[in-house]
Amino acid sequence: MTHLPYIVTAYGLTIGLAVILGGGAALRLRRARARLAALERPSRTGGASAP
Amino acid sequence: MGENETVLNATPSLAARTGNFFHRYANPGRFLRLGARLQPWLTWPAILLSVAGIAWGLFLSPADWQQGDSVRIMYVHVPAAWLASSGYMGLAICSLLSLVWRHPLADLAAVEIGPVGASVTAICLATGSLWGKPMWGTWWVWDARLTSVLVLFFLYLGHIALIRAFDEPQRGYRAAAILGLAGAVDLPIIKFSVQWWNTLHQPDSITLTAAPTMSTAMLWPLLVCTIGFTLGFAAILVARLRAAVMESRVRTALAMRRGRADSHDARDSGQDLSGAVA
């Protein structure tokens, strides 16, 4: 009996999950950084937030 | 007597000192700076060690004389099992920090640990099942070790659901922290289940008190994989926590803008009204 399908599935699941979690975290961090930068930009120059 | 009292009063208690230590890192700005500095030192070694460990385990390490090649599942199963337990330990520590010291970052960390911990626990269960089928002839048995890890998975899911279940986040944090602390009782059960009960799952091959019962040709790739996966787990958590702090700042900034806009509107409408009255 070959054990190859079990081994490939186990490694595939692990690597797939690592890529999803890692990639998801990196994308979320990038998006949050961009949104924060976009919000902070006008207040630094004092333009948009001035009444 | 009076002097002694002064000395006693001047020395902060262990709890106060511990609280001060944790409060130093409660400042989100300080955490963001520390996290940005830590991130590459966690991410790149995690990728390198994980890739090296997986390649070593898959292609270079020897097959087991009894289990054959299926022993290679160990190089992903054991690190996942270690991270499932230590992730929950981290969750329990965050719960304690949240309940005792009201540490704001601990609440955010607990929110972020939950999904990552649940994912590695699911991987631990799935890879264990994939290892069990060719070795034991079954995908699952209601063995003490397997069942206690399944309970851990449900504890993670319960924590994820509970922390998001309230409209007021603080109530969710408190309720989930209580669950997080109470659930920590499952960790020693997982650890000692193979000693306390007669289980199909094998006893621990690596302990702190005795020499490992496996060949060093298998131990080294396992160690490399475990360190790589642990650094990867930490890197993902730091990235998610940094993102959560930034998202929280974005929400605060937007709320402040909305507040300012509302006050301008109120002032403008007040002027209009006063004009109308005049």
Which residues of chain B make contact with A32, given a CB cutoff of 8 A? 242-244, 246-247, 250
Closest Cα in chain A, distance from residue B13 (Å): 38
pLDDT tens-place string over residues A2-43? 889 999 999 999 999 999 999 999 999 999 999 989 887 765
Residues 20-49 of A with CB under 8 A from B: 21-22, 25-26, 28-29, 31-33, 35-36, 39-40, 43, 49
Residue with tokens 């998975």: B153
Domains annotated on chain B, with CATH:
38-199+219-256 (1.20.120)
Nearest to B96 by CA among B183, B156, B29: B183
Residue B213 in tokens: 């019962």
Distance of CA B5 to the CA centre of its chain: 42
Inspect the interface and report whether the beta carbons of A22 and B70 lie closer than 8 Å.
no
Return the residue in A1, A2, A4, A7 with the most chain B beta carbons within 10 A, the one to mutate for interface testing. Answer: A7
Closest Cα in chain B, distance from residue A10 (Å): 5
CA atoms within 13 A on the CB side of B250: 16
Burial class (CB in 10 A: 0-12, 13-18, 19+), B193: buried
Inspect the interface and report whether the beta carbons of B134 and A28 lie closer than 8 Å.
no
CA atoms within 13 A on the CB side of B32: 14
Which residues of chain A make contact with B236, given a CB cutoff of 8 A? 21-22, 25
Does the beta carbon of A15 lie under 8 angstroms from any beta carbon of chain B? Answer: yes
Helices B104-136 & B28-55, crossing angle to 10 degrees?
Answer: 10
**CA distances for B193 relative to B127, B142, B143, B205, B249, angstroms:** 19, 12, 9, 14, 44
C-alpha A19/C-alpha B219 separation (Å) is: 25
Residue with tokens 């640990």: B113
> How large is the ipTM?
0.82
The pLDDT value given to residue B190: 93
C-alpha B229/C-alpha A49 separation (Å) is: 45
C-alpha B107/C-alpha B94 separation (Å) is: 7
Closest Cα in chain A, distance from residue B132 (Å): 10
The pLDDT value given to residue B126: 97
Identify the H or E element spanning B147: helix B144-163
C-alpha B166/C-alpha B241 separation (Å) is: 21
Nearest to B61 by CA among B47, B42, B84, B78: B78
Q: What is the pLDDT along chain B (278 residues), one digit of tens a residue?
A: 444 444 445 556 665 666 566 666 667 788 889 999 999 999 999 999 999 999 999 999 988 888 888 999 999 999 999 999 999 999 999 999 999 988 888 999 999 999 999 999 999 999 999 999 999 899 999 989 999 999 999 999 999 999 999 989 899 999 999 999 999 999 999 998 888 888 778 777 777 676 677 788 899 999 999 999 999 999 999 999 999 999 999 988 888 888 877 777 777 766 554 444 43
C-alpha B227/C-alpha B218 separation (Å) is: 15
Does the beta carbon of B247 lie under 8 angstroms from any beta carbon of chain A? Answer: yes
Inspect the interface and report whether the beta carbons of A22 and B232 lie closer than 8 Å.
yes
**CA distances for B65 relative to B70, B112, B215, angstroms:** 11, 41, 11
